[in-house]
Amino acid sequence: MTFKLPVALAAMLVLAAPALAADPPRPPAAVAFRIGQLQAWSLRDADFAIANDGKTFGADVDPAEVSRVLAAAGRPTDRIPVDIDALLVKTGDRLVLMDTGLGPLATNQLVASLKLAGFAPAQVTDVLITHSHYDHVSGLMTAARTLTFPNATVRMSTREWAWMRSQPQNAALVALIEPRVTPFELGAELAPGITAVALDGHTPGHSGYEVRSGEARLLDVGDMVHSSVVSLARPDWAMGFDSDKVLGRTTRHAELSRLARSGERVFTPHFPFPGVGHVVAQGDGFVWKPGVE
């Protein structure tokens, strides 16, 4: 399948290798699970692969080093799969969506996945944005340039909103969503049981979202990590997508260490669907243990 992507997105995402590109698109999907007393769903949007070209994963090492890590995990060495998914949480009378995928830039699968979870776009009350890269915010706008979630308040950190507005390529989307945007300071509680968490380095105002219910916790880490293999095995390697690669590396290593110690569940929009699991320490790095329980 082939999509015509804006230059900024095309620079970030490369469609799957030819052998994979011939496969049919993965269908919409919604996987339900609980966070304590809260109901949550992982929603599928799209999937891509990023070339092992020395510009993205391990941007400060030779691609051969990345290939060795991939081969050791039994994965292809030329490209790294990247899913694009979103987290939905029902808390009280609020229906909270975290990130919105590619929207009309791809196949609008997120809306189809939302419907599989039993909801219409108009029922979403809050959209929490981890950061304003295309694969997280494009789903805010329909192909007809209207609001996908017409009744939702759009939330992102004050710094991220300022950065998003400063980027000329965002002008149309910014103009559309601006009346719905309410920025926040990191650390704020945005809905019952959902708190914004600073995860610095990927973009100027990148944030994660911690969901709590009783003793249960889950952290949506946004783009702190991208590959369930490379990002965890070698968190010290620079990520080409990070605006501050040194800070991104520092945050990644510190937060992965904390998550491995605490055993807290994690949602990551770019790991294999449904992107829910635990980070486990292994040697000098970490491994991914998928599972919604």
Dump pLDDT digits (tens) for 79-130: 999 999 999 999 999 999 999 999 988 777 999 999 999 999 999 999 999 9
pTM value is 0.92
DSSP summary character for residue 15: P
**Which uninterrupted H or E stretch holds 154?**
strand 153-155
Q: Does domain 7-210 have CATH number 3.60.15.10?
A: yes
Which residues, listed in sequence order, are joined to residue 185 by a DSSP beta bridge? none
Pairing mode of beta strands 94-98, 126-128 = parallel
Number of C-beta neighbours around residue 177 at 10 A: 23
pLDDT of residue 150: 98
Dump pLDDT digits (tens) for 194-252: 999 999 999 999 999 999 999 999 999 999 999 999 999 999 999 999 999 999 999 99
Contact criterion met (CB below 8 Å) for 54 and 118: no
